[in-house]
Structure 1
Amino acid sequence: MDPIIDYSPVFVEQPCTKQIPLNYASVCGTLYVPENRTRVNSPIIELAVRIVKTKSTQPLPDPIVYLVGGPGGSVVEQTGDFFLGNMMNFARDRDVIFFDQRGTGASRPRLQCEGIINTALNALTQEFTPDDERITYQYASELCSSDFRQQGIDLSTYTSANNAADVNDLRVALGYDEWNLFGVSYGTRLALTVMRDYPEGIRSVILDSVYPPQVNLFTEYMANAVRALDVLFAGCRADARCYAAYPETEERFYRLYDELNATPQIVTLVSNSGDEINIVLNGDRLFDWVFRWLYNIDNIRHIPRWLYEIDNGTYTSAVRAGLQQELVIYGIDQGMYQAVQCYDEISFLEPESFIKIRDTFPQYASTLDRMLTQHEALLDVCTGWQPVRAAELENEPVRSDIPTLLLVGEYDPITPPAWAELAAQTLTNGYLYEVPGVGHAVTFSSGCGQQIALRFLWEPSTAPDSACLAQAPSPMFVVTRLAYTGE
């Protein structure tokens, strides 16, 4: 690895463009760091920062820095709503720091790829074959990486390791002796990388929905999805009302998957402006929607009902909920996603890995054909995003004695409990808790999960009280009168 050049990160305070409701004061500004820390005269990049100040009259000196997921997610421009909805309790005694990682949101340069977004959205209204999707996606991705390179952007620096260096530079520039890391989803991978490379100054770490470096999102995706589906089906069977209304939820899902792939349905929705949009609902899309619905407890509660309604030819509620999940793509800067995953994950993939997945899950042959065709295309386009393979370090467990809380949701389809267990094996002061009845982002969807996190922050050197787990509720599955009475 090339040596790091001598530089000093700089934070410049600037006026906040939006105020936080409920009279929370905040400080806004920009962190300036080199794009490439190994290159003399590297371009300087700008990272957007917002610090929400605690209202406590005796604030603690160690703030919380929130590490958003993705990769490619951002938070600064939505800080007000996000803070009030998810983080306000964490600001009782401490300031909370939000920043947009390099390549995302209000930071500059921003690595967004409109072509990739358009490809995904166009697939909603067109009956694309797997090859259609691969060709359009590959073209959009290669065009985007080429455009960024022509702008002089050094894509090789958009990695988790450089993200971690940015996090450390932020602490140094703001003048904190120590602080607390709080990562969700990809933010946990970033937090683990900071723990590995810059352990100084970290008082404690919260890893919510754990994504450790030694796993691979692409090769383990289907196994994680099937595990979460099994939890869903078991959850409905264990709920008297759900089972009475939807006794064949599992069978219905598999039947719909096959039938909709054989005969896709065109579902017409009318927008608020009166425009009609025709959505192609096939089995692969249904699988994808159920997977995404499992992230959020508000959606989990409705999945058996939505499957029942689709089976009875009533599509509107499910399709509208599915479209909400599709639009999440707008919240991810796709260029940053590509750059990070090409380095962190695709570096350690071989094409043969995909063949094994096909053999393991023959019941999902259609979905896997589409998914693995996309992944194989990713192997090709990654040379444009990251021409150099990552060092083995990026695929190894992180070892640390920093006090760490690991939280995972029972229903989580993408960062399963097994991943948190793997990460915990090399964290000697780690405390792991699985929270029943919820999916992804535990602290934002479970009062018990947030309670455990707050107790941990108060005294991270001891295991937090987790008695609330025994009373944590199962999903309150929504049952329609029509289904429940058998009418």
Structure 2
Amino acid sequence: MPRQLLAPLAGALAVAVTGLFGSGAASAAEPVYAIKPCPADWATGDRVVECGTLTVDETRGDPATRRIDIAVARIKAKTPFIDAMGEPLPPVVVFHGGPGGSLVSGVGRTLGFYAANPEQAGPLAAIDQDWIYFDQRGGGLGNPSMDCPGVQLTDAGPPSAKDEAGLIACLQAYAAQGVNLSQYNAAVIAADVADMRKAMGLERIDLYGGSYGPRIEAAVMTHAPQGVRAVVMDSPWPPEGNWAVGTPEQVSTAVRIILAKCAAQAACGARHPDLQTRFEANAREWLAGPKTGSDGKTWTVEDLAAFLMETTYDARGVRRLPHDLEAIIAGDFSPIAEIAEDREYYTEAQQMTHLCKEELPFESKERLAAGAAGDPVAEVSVPSLSRLFAVCAAIDVGAADPVENAPVRSDIPTLFIAAEIDPGCPPELTRKAAAGYANSQVMIVTNATHGVTRQSPCAARAARDFLRDPTEPVDQTCLPPADEPLVFDEGDAA
């Protein structure tokens, strides 16, 4: 269950630039790419940046369809790399995660960071080749952008019945406004990428995505592979993965891996004796009903589920997990409260159109509950994930195509980079998915969490080398050994 990797935080910048990307173009069958000024406050420095809007049909093949806008930003290569044939590398099309993430609003912030910290501009920072960022249809700075203000949605599902009802009402409201909810999913975005190639005059492209981004990459490779030269998938979510079914067990497995790494170290094990068993007992208490913390505030099992998912996705959260679980067992729920401060980071209606069209039709509440039964840490995630099925039952996104749940078969060179610790996109999924790619390479990074290339310089260099020449094996000798200890953060308890 992918987190919003490559989805920058929304904020004042997103509000300020929304008007730049809504074209209101007249209806036409052909895709149109229009270059527009980038926001004046983007600190481009010595980088050349192009902003624009891709306008396409919402429903292809329908002469009465309306047109929709997709925001695009292109950072030109700082030092174009010339390959062995004497040709510059093709541009990289970047895919954000979620679904329901975004990219374009964060480009200015990223440029500003690189301008202020040039030594930290990593090897993937549009150095060798142009990088094209776009907000997938239905989100970000596009039109429409299907946000649901005030509704919380995490990777563990809606935290409350109120949020479930809010999602249904929000989706129904977009449908009432004329949004065709059946047209916001991976297969249709693949057609958008083909239209982008056509409208921008791109003969060849590379693909780079993280988390749910590889799910969209897989759709491009399935439905519109023409012109795709090479693909990088970071923390990949393959089409055959189950969004809800199996996720509680994956969260529990991530917790077990982390706590086992603690128990294997004398100091950490002594500080947190038998923590796995004690937390399982605590999880049973949460399953029995809400708990009131030392500050008098009451929290539910859904709140604990969101905490476990978010924490085991995050590098800092993983290092702090033993410390935070001790606090929770003792009745200090501040770690849960910290996670609960931001549970509106997705474009919620956009996420649900994906899940209801291409994920949940192939799953069931019964299989979800049965898989988690008997493992209290897994069972914690079942109530909130179950609500997703009720949301999908209340909206019409059209029939699911079985191909969207099938493993991909492709000979396009593809580099898979996965984290050892990942509750949503575990390495087992990566290994199985890669078997269908005739020209694939796989990296599994010890102690890493979701979003590997932003944590591991070794993985980032491998991605760059692969894009320079996808026919050569990437260097994995710089990866940490499988038995390298995980460094834990004890906070103030040291």
Q: TM-score, normalised by structure 1?
A: 0.85
Q: Percent identity?
A: 29
Distance in 2 of aligned mates of 1:80 and 1:439:
26
Correspondence for 1:129: none
C-alpha distance after superposition, 1:304-325 (max 9, x if no partner):
1112233445444x2453235x
Correspondence for 1:78: 106
C-alpha distance after superposition, 1:72-124 (max 9, x if no partner):
1111111133465797521221111111010001000111122533999xx98
Correspondence for 2:304: 286
Does the Cα contact within 8 Å between 2:446 and 2:481 map onto a contact in 1? no
SS in 2 for 1:421: helix
Does the Cα contact within 8 Å between 2:458 and 2:479 map onto a contact in 1? yes
Distance in 1 of aligned mates of 2:409 and 2:469:
21
**Equivalent residue for 1:322, pick from 339, 344, 355:** 339
Correspondence for 1:12: 34
- The 3 A distance-change label for structure 1 pair 197 and 376 is closer
Correspondence for 1:31: 54
108-117 vs 225-234, which deviates more? 108-117
**Equivalent residue for 1:378, pick from 378, 385, 391:** 391
**Equivalent residue for 2:405, pick from 395, 403, 425:** 395
16-25 vs 45-54, which deviates more? 16-25
Distance in 1 of aligned mates of 2:491 and 2:390:
43
Correspondence for 1:169: 195
- The 3 A distance-change label for structure 1 pair 293 and 138 is closer
* 2:429 paired with 1:407: no
Correspondence for 1:62: 90
Does the Cα contact within 8 Å between 1:266 and 1:280 map onto a contact in 2? yes
- Structure 2: stretches of 5+ with no match in the other structure: 1-26, 83-87, 115-119
Distance in 1 of aligned mates of 2:135 and 2:419:
25
C-alpha distance after superposition, 1:225-248 (max 9, x if no partner):
122112111111223332232233
Letter in 2 for 1:42: T
**Equivalent residue for 2:432, pick from 409, 422, 437:** 422
* 2:267 paired with 1:257: no
Letter in 1 for 2:490: V
Letter in 2 for 1:285: D
Matches within 5 A, 1:126-275: 133-134=160-161, 136-261=162-287, 264-266=291-293, 268=295
- The 3 A distance-change label for structure 1 pair 63 and 88 is farther
Letter in 2 for 1:9: P
- The 3 A distance-change label for structure 1 pair 174 and 361 is farther
11-20 vs 83-92, which deviates more? 83-92
Shift of 1:22: 4.4
C-alpha distance after superposition, 1:337-382 (max 9, x if no partner):
1111100012223454234235x3452586255235414413422x
**Equivalent residue for 1:300, pick from 318, 321, 324:** 318
SS in 1 for 2:380: helix
CA RMSD of the aligned region, Å?
2.7
SS in 2 for 1:13: strand
Correspondence for 2:73: 50
Correspondence for 2:64: 41
More helix by share: 1
Letter in 2 for 1:367: V
Distance in 1 of aligned mates of 2:359 and 2:203:
33
Letter in 2 for 1:252: R
Correspondence for 1:346: 360
C-alpha distance after superposition, 1:198-257 (max 9, x if no partner):
111111000111111112111121121122112111111223332232233313322332
Shift of 1:471: 5.0
Distance in 2 of aligned mates of 1:191 and 1:323:
31
* 2:494 paired with 1:477: no
Correspondence for 1:431: 441
- The 3 A distance-change label for structure 1 pair 230 and 112 is same
Distance in 1 of aligned mates of 2:493 and 2:244:
40
**Equivalent residue for 2:457, pick from 433, 447, 471:** 447
- The 3 A distance-change label for structure 1 pair 63 and 279 is farther
Does the Cα contact within 8 Å between 2:369 and 2:382 map onto a contact in 1? no
* 2:102 paired with 1:89: no
Letter in 1 for 2:323: R
Letter in 2 for 1:377: A
Shift of 1:171: 1.9
Q: TM-score, normalised by structure 2?
A: 0.84
